[in-house]
Structure 1
Amino acid sequence: MKKIIIMLMALLPMAAMAQNAKFGHIDTQSIMQSMPEFIKARGELEAEQKQYENELQEMQKELQAKAEKYEKEKATMNATMQQSTEQSLQEMYTKIQQAYQDNQQKIQKASQEKLQPISTKLQNAIKAVGKAGNYVYIMDISAGIPYISETLSKDISSDVKAELNKMK
């Protein structure tokens, strides 16, 4: 009997603590998309991507013009000239493909470089709000969580936005 009473006394604080546990939820994507530094980075990335697209379009136009010229003059060319022109066209096509792949890698690298500090800043703000509010867990609803109880979990988006404003 004495052991049961001791065990209940030991479990009682844990049960009380579980009832007072605070849970929060947040939509990190919507907060990030409203951050001025994210908007600026997205604009820079879009401009860079547009520049790469324009360069590729110019290369494709040049290839198309040379291919059309080749088709018109093909009948009057000797075999050596045809082979040389076809090889040149193939090299241009390969160069365009390589440029496309290189541009994709550049955009991906630039995206990581520009967005990582923003993501880190947001995570730090979430951690600060979590610590200050004594939250046990903060769930990111943009991660596709199917259900969050509005009565048991608090939306801390405004708290995180306020913390982000302090970090400027």
Structure 2
Amino acid sequence: MKKVILMALLLVPMSIFAQKFGHFDSSAIIQLMPEYTTAQTEIQQLQAQYENDLKRMQDELKKKSEEYEKEKANLLDNVRQRRETELQDLYNRIQQSYQDNQKSLQETSQQKMQAISDKMLGVIKQIGTEGGYVYIMDVSAGIPYISTTLSTDVTADIKQKLGLK
């Protein structure tokens, strides 16, 4: 009985050393994915559309402000107040549109990146299961140190499973 316990105690530390660890660079992988390129293009197009809409609204505000300044001296008080309120409302709409556009861009970007991350995560889990890895860590996530001698770089494996070069 003592021999069995002694043998178990000796084998447990050896089994710890037999564990496999992997690492990869997600930023190098994501930038090669066609989904990433498509997402970036769509986000840039959306941003350009928002910028054009805001520019159009700003041009309208500028035009109305200039017209108001020219006519201001000749306007009745109630008309002048109404025009000032209209200009203020237009300015507020521009500010609100800018905030809404920024929020929309951020949400769109997060949704697209989440889909890309989910696809990569599925491949990482598959590689981890097939390769018998205990951990596969992302070096671009800010991990202070990963031993490249004790950990296997699986970046190429992930690229291959994703069909990337």
Per the alignment, residue 165 of structure 1 pairs with 163
Q: Which amino acid is 1:39 matched to?
A: T
Q: What is the TM-score of this pair, normalised by structure 2?
A: 0.90
SS of 2:143's equivalent?
Answer: coil
Per the alignment, residue 22 of structure 1 pairs with 20
SS of 1:65's equivalent?
Answer: helix
Per the alignment, residue 109 of structure 2 pairs with 111
SS of 2:59's equivalent?
Answer: helix
Structure 1 Cα separation of the partners of residues 72 and 56 of structure 2: 24
CA separation of 1:13/1:58 partners in 2, compared to 1, >3 Å: closer, same or farther? same
Per the alignment, residue 35 of structure 2 pairs with 37
Q: Provide structure 2 residue ranges, at least 5 long, that are not aligned to the other structure.
A: none
SS of 2:149's equivalent?
Answer: coil
Q: Equivalent residues in 2 for 1:78-93 (5 A)?
A: 78-93=76-91
**Identity in percent:** 50
Structure 1 Cα separation of the partners of residues 91 and 10 of structure 2: 73
* Alpha-carbon RMSD: 1.8
Q: Equivalent residues in 2 for 1:59-78 (5 A)?
A: 59-78=57-76
Q: Which amino acid is 1:158 matched to?
A: A
- Between the two proteins, the alignment pairs up a number of residues equal to 164
Q: What is the TM-score of this pair, normalised by structure 1?
A: 0.89
Q: Provide structure 1 residue ranges, at least 5 long, that are not aligned to the other structure.
A: none
